[in-house]
């Protein structure tokens, strides 16, 4: 596996879980905004030509 593949996949998974949380009733949308922005900024470059 390429060096950034695991980090990329984990970060995308966290963004997806955060999106699901945001759709829940009573979700803290301030938390969602801060964390999603942080995760998006920390997202490594997508793996090139590698399948995970």
* Interval 12-47: pLDDT, tens: 999 999 999 999 999 999 999 999 999 988 887 776
Whole-number Å distance between alpha carbons of 49 and 4: 12
**Cβ partners under 8 Å of residue 42, min gap 6:** 11
Q: What is the pLDDT of residue 51?
A: 55
CB 43 within 8 A of CB 8: yes
pLDDT band at 50 (very low <50, low <70, confident <90, very high): low
CB within 8 Å of 7: residues ≥ 6 apart: 44
């Amino acid at each position: 596996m390429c060096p950034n593949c695991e980090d990329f996949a984990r970060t995308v998974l966290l963004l997806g879980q955060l999106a699901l949380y945001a759709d829940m009733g009573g979700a803290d949308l301030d938390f969602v905004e801060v964390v999603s922005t942080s995760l998006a900024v920390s997202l490594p470059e997508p793996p090139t030509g590698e399948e995970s």
